[in-house]
Amino acid sequence: MTAAPGPRPLRVLVVDDSPLQRKILSSSLLRQGYVVDVAACGQEALAMCEAHAPDLVLSDWMMPGMDGLEFCKKFRAMQRESYGYFILLTSKSDKDAVARGLDTGADDFLTKPVNADELRARITAGERILAMQRQLSDQNRVISRTLAELQGLYDALDNDLIEARKLQQSLVRERFRRFGAADLSLLLRPSGHVGGDLVGFFPVGKTRLGIFAIDVSGHGISSALMTARLAGYLSATTPDQNVALRETADGSHEMLPPDAVIARLNRLVLEEMETEHYFTMLLAEVDLVSGRVSLAQAGHPHPLVQRADGRVELVGQGGLPVGLIEDAAFERFEIVLNKGDRLLLYSDGITECPDAGGGFFEEEGLIALAGKLHHLAGREFLEAMVWHLAENTGTEEFPDDISAALLEF
């Protein structure tokens, strides 16, 4: 078995215009096991540094042409992969001279004539500095590689989340649909790439319509996956898989009472889904002929009804969220929409949107805003609502998902 190679010996550059001094220093360093280069002047030393970068430099201060200080300054300006330790040899001992040398870039001083033991001690100290520098450089390289790997993972995750956002937005394929006497507009705006809010609808024959608004607990990918599962349970394209519908004797479909549908979803979540998530929900069945709306509320914010004359009221009793308590009961209630009335289902991302003063928008703010925007309809109403929320909070980056379904009769 071949032994692992030991650390390479340090390369030391001795710079002195005195041949005798170069000989004395280089002989001492060679005996100590260092690789030694010698130069007679600063210019020659710079050329040698370009060819073989030294780990440590011993340079005389007083030399003809380029002195030790100027050489040190140029040495420090060179591009290097590792640090070079610089010791000035000088007969100067006053503090001003020492300060000038340190300002120029020297690490240490040796007084001439050089004592062999002091030389060994100063070089040993320099070796410790260089060893720490190499260790730090190695650690920095490891950190740089790790950061590069993490950045690659982050970029891949970010790209996946961008695609996930597109897929989640595709769950709400239509943001506006006209159903004879009623218009339905939808808003879905996650606070991050993906979120836990969902709004949607499913036709029930030609004269009825199911509308739902859902807010899954938490944020991010797991909440978004939950909304995708729930979207499948309330599908508008595959009525046979929609838990809110049942087939009639003639092969058509009718909607189950909204409270029964929510109770069924509660059982599905508790019995079939292994998840810590729960969700709030509003489910409405709309008679598009009479304007009668049957609703069930499961912890979701109270629906807002705005009459044709601008009056606003909140309806509903609140109820328990879905997926928390087995055999939870959910209540059904009814409202009637007349010509010019509208119904707004919305998530708590709207009422709990913070304002610049540290408070929240709350239901009172929504009621006031609905009155202010009474003249707007459909998507213009929803877009104006988001704009006012952004103005109220001082940013377009909302802390929670925002969603809404607006039915105008």
Rounded mean pLDDT of 126-143?
88
pLDDT of residue 166: 63
Tokens representing 179? 């159903």
pLDDT of residue 160: 61
Annotation: CATH topology of 171-408: Phosphatase 2c; domain 1 (3.60.40)
Whole-model pTM above 0.75?
A: no
Q: Tell me if residue 369 falls in helix, strand or coil.
A: helix
pLDDT of residue 366: 93
CATH 3.40.50.2300 residue ranges for the chain: 11-140
Show Cβ contacts of residue 172 under 8 Å, excluding neighbours closer than 6 positions.
186, 188, 198, 199, 200
Tokens representing 19? 């041949």
Nearest Cα neighbor of 23 from 4, 38, 1, 42 is 38
Q: What are phi and psi of 168, to 5 degrees?
A: -65, -40
Rounded mean pLDDT of 203-225?
86
Q: Tell me if residue 386 falls in helix, strand or coil.
A: helix
CATH 3.60.40.10 residue ranges for the chain: 171-408
pLDDT of residue 18: 92
Annotation: CATH topology of 11-140: Rossmann fold (3.40.50)
Q: Which H or E run includes 372?
A: helix 362-372
Asked whether the bond before 321 is cis by omega within 30 degrees of 0, the reply is no
Residue with tokens 């969700």: 279
Distance of CA 29 to the CA centre of its chain: 55
Nearest Cα neighbor of 355 from 382, 395, 327 is 395
344 falls in which pLDDT band (50, 70, 90)? Answer: very high
Burial 193-202 (b: 16+ CB within 10 A, else e): bbbbbbbbbb
pLDDT of residue 230: 87
Show Cβ contacts of residue 321 under 8 Å, excluding neighbours closer than 6 positions.
217, 278, 279, 280, 281, 298, 299
Is pLDDT of 304 > 80?
yes
Tokens representing 381? 């109403």
Top pLDDT among 251 and 370 is at: 370
Instruction: Give the pairing type, strands 108-111 and 85-90.
Output: parallel
Is pLDDT of 1 > 70?
no
Nearest Cα neighbor of 264 from 233, 301, 287, 225 is 233
Distance of CA 83 to the CA centre of its chain: 36
Show Cβ contacts of residue 371 under 8 Å, excluding neighbours closer than 6 positions.
306, 310, 312
Show Cβ contacts of residue 48 under 8 Å, excluding neighbours closer than 6 positions.
13, 37, 39, 54
